[in-house]
Amino acid sequence: MTADLAMMPAHQLVKLYKGRKASPVEATKAAVARIEAFNPQLNAFQHLDPDAAMRAARASEKRWKKGGKRFSDLDGVPITIKDMVLTRGMPTRMGSLATDADGPWTVDAPVAQRLREAGTVLLGKTTSPEYGWKGVTDSGLFGATHNPWKIGRTSGGSSGGGVAAEAVGMGNLAIGTDGAGSVRIPCSFTGLFGLKPTQGRVPLWPASSQGTLSHIGPMTRTVKDAAMVMNVIARYDARDPYSRRDDEEDYLKGFDKGVKGLRIAYSPNLGFVEREKIDRDVAAAVEAAARVFRTLGAKVVEDSPDLMGLDPRRILNAHWQSNVAVLVKSFSEDKRALMDPGLLKAAEVGANLGQEAVVTAINQRQQVAVILNQFLAKYDLLLTPTMPMTAFAVNENAAWGGDGVDIGWTPFTLTFNLTRQPAATIPCGLDRDGLPIGLQIVGAHACDTLVMRAAAAYERVRPIPAPPMAHQI
């Protein structure tokens, strides 16, 4: 029973709590058992505190026994949080040897605070590359995180620890951050659902070095679980100047309405990605997924936005590299000597961009956002591949043999960090090596619920599978 609890979706787990058929203590013990079994192979955690987790689980169990006294519908559900999210009582190292191990760790970021207020059981902090600088997960501080579908392959990044844990039941929920795809890349590579919400809907503090490119969202084994998490974390917080006081969305409202009658654009290459760079298995799986939406009653049309010669890869690189340059400059020379050479190289590129290049990128970002806004005024949703490829080898900074300084190998995800629109990924098949492929579902600004509604409709006919490793306990 406890092994089943670890892989159980959160929304099913809380039903067992309500019926007194399972308890938060049992669920937490199940998660800890899986951590002991799988973390040595996957290296998904930078910090674990099973004693604190059990104290939280026992307190939640008492609330459920009292009946009606629980803090939220996620009370007692085991969850993990990415290293880059400040969490009281747990170190936030940013994956960096240049950070101070001693803290103090006395303050919660908004998301950590909301999860604590909701009564979730915080198992620990998951691995990230240094300051989330790349789309894979390895660092000099914690080493490399592996993919549960195939040891030796990357779990993606920069939220790679969270998905590696989530995929095999080392927690029933996970939180990641996303500055160019860092929720969607790892979810695509490990076969999970992940949502990059509309920027500002989930408060982010302390401010990211990547500014409004950065988002924070759920990584889950079902779409409904993500909606439940959003109902907890997507609430106003004065520490984020982009947080909306009037945003009281119910992310489960209309959840089961399906996609019948929706106008959906399917874009195989988003109008600018070279077709030869998209793996043939990825292209075929995403095209097949688009056909599924037709069978569900949506009006699917192949169409792509006209970006008028603007390349989101170049625009994102200018933002990202210049932001990294400012970040690295804030460290002393001694601290910089401890940092990832790839991060330092990206910072050097950013420092040499020049004012004109950076300001041009800022203006071009706005142009891309307007184009995508207008495109999604014609359609309810947009479907694209999430990634052009599946998971490659660990300890590589980027796909196609890149050094990671150019983030252009993740073109489909980074585009919607520029536009701030909601974008989710859901598994849509496996490649010839048995590795997951992701379908990206994009909505207009603030249409997060519609994105999840469409993902849920797809999930009902194409359930999300677990990796074989998850069944080895």
- CA-CA-CA-CA dihedral for 138, 141, 142, 146, to nearest 10: 10
Within 8 A by CB and 6+ apart from 451, the residues are 195, 381, 422, 423, 424, 441, 442, 443
Q: What's the chain's average pLDDT?
A: 97
Binning pLDDT at 50, 70 and 90, where does residue 26 land?
very high
* Cβ pair 94, 179 in contact under 8 A: no
Gap between the Cα atoms of 268 and 281, Å rounded: 12
Inter-CA distances, 96 with 93, 146, 405, Å: 6, 19, 18
Percentage of residues of the chain with pLDDT beyond 90: 97
Rg, the chain, Cα only: 21
Give CA angle at 214 (411, 387), nearest 5°. Answer: 25
SS3 of 71-123? CCCCCCCEEEEECCCCECCECCCCCCCCCCCCCCCCCCCHHHHHHHHCCCEEE
Q: Which residues are catalytic?
A: 82, 158, 182
Gap between the Cα atoms of 392 and 430, Å rounded: 14
* Cβ pair 147, 185 in contact under 8 A: no
* Cβ pair 385, 442 in contact under 8 A: no
Is residue 259 pLDDT above 70, yes or no? yes
* Alpha-helix runs per DSSP H in 191-242: 223-233
pLDDT at position 68 is 66
pLDDT at position 164 is 98
DSSP class of residue 447 equals: -
Binning pLDDT at 50, 70 and 90, where does residue 2 land?
low
Within 8 A by CB and 6+ apart from 366, the residues are none
Gap between the Cα atoms of 301 and 240, Å rounded: 38
* Cβ pair 394, 285 in contact under 8 A: no
Binning pLDDT at 50, 70 and 90, where does residue 1 land?
very low
Query: How many Cβ atoms sit within 10 Å of the Cβ of residue 121?
Result: 30
Within 8 A by CB and 6+ apart from 386, the residues are 181, 184, 185, 187, 188, 412, 413, 425, 437, 438, 439, 440
Tokens of residue 277, six digits: 């760079």
Residue 94 has phi, psi (to 5 degrees) of 55, 25
Query: E-strand spans in 211-302?
Result: 215-220, 263-266, 299-302
Residue type, 93: R
pLDDT digits (tens, 9 = 90+) for 371-400: 999 999 999 999 999 999 999 999 999 999
Gap between the Cα atoms of 116 and 113, Å rounded: 5
pLDDT digits (tens, 9 = 90+) for 58-78: 999 999 998 768 999 999 999
* Cβ pair 96, 131 in contact under 8 A: yes
Give CA angle at 298 (416, 449), nearest 5°. Answer: 45
Gap between the Cα atoms of 460 and 178, Å rounded: 26
Tokens of residue 409, six digits: 């190998």
Is residue 332 pLDDT above 90, yes or no? yes
Percentage of residues of the chain with pLDDT beyond 70: 99
Gap between the Cα atoms of 345 and 361, Å rounded: 20
pLDDT digits (tens, 9 = 90+) for 152-201: 999 999 999 999 999 999 999 999 999 999 999 999 999 999 999 999 99
Tokens of residue 66, six digits: 């009292």
Residue 165, helix vs strand vs coil: helix
Residue bearing tokens 């026992």: 58
pLDDT at position 67 is 72
Peptide bond into 206 cis (omega under 30): yes
Tokens of residue 28, six digits: 């937490």
Stretch 31-57: mean pLDDT: 98
* Cβ pair 119, 72 in contact under 8 A: yes
Query: How many Cβ atoms sit within 10 Å of the Cβ of residue 404?
Result: 22
Gap between the Cα atoms of 101 and 248, Å rounded: 37
pLDDT at position 127 is 98
* Cβ pair 191, 429 in contact under 8 A: no
* Cβ pair 401, 473 in contact under 8 A: no
Gap between the Cα atoms of 351 and 342, Å rounded: 14
Stretch 109-127: mean pLDDT: 98
pTM above 0.95, yes or no: yes
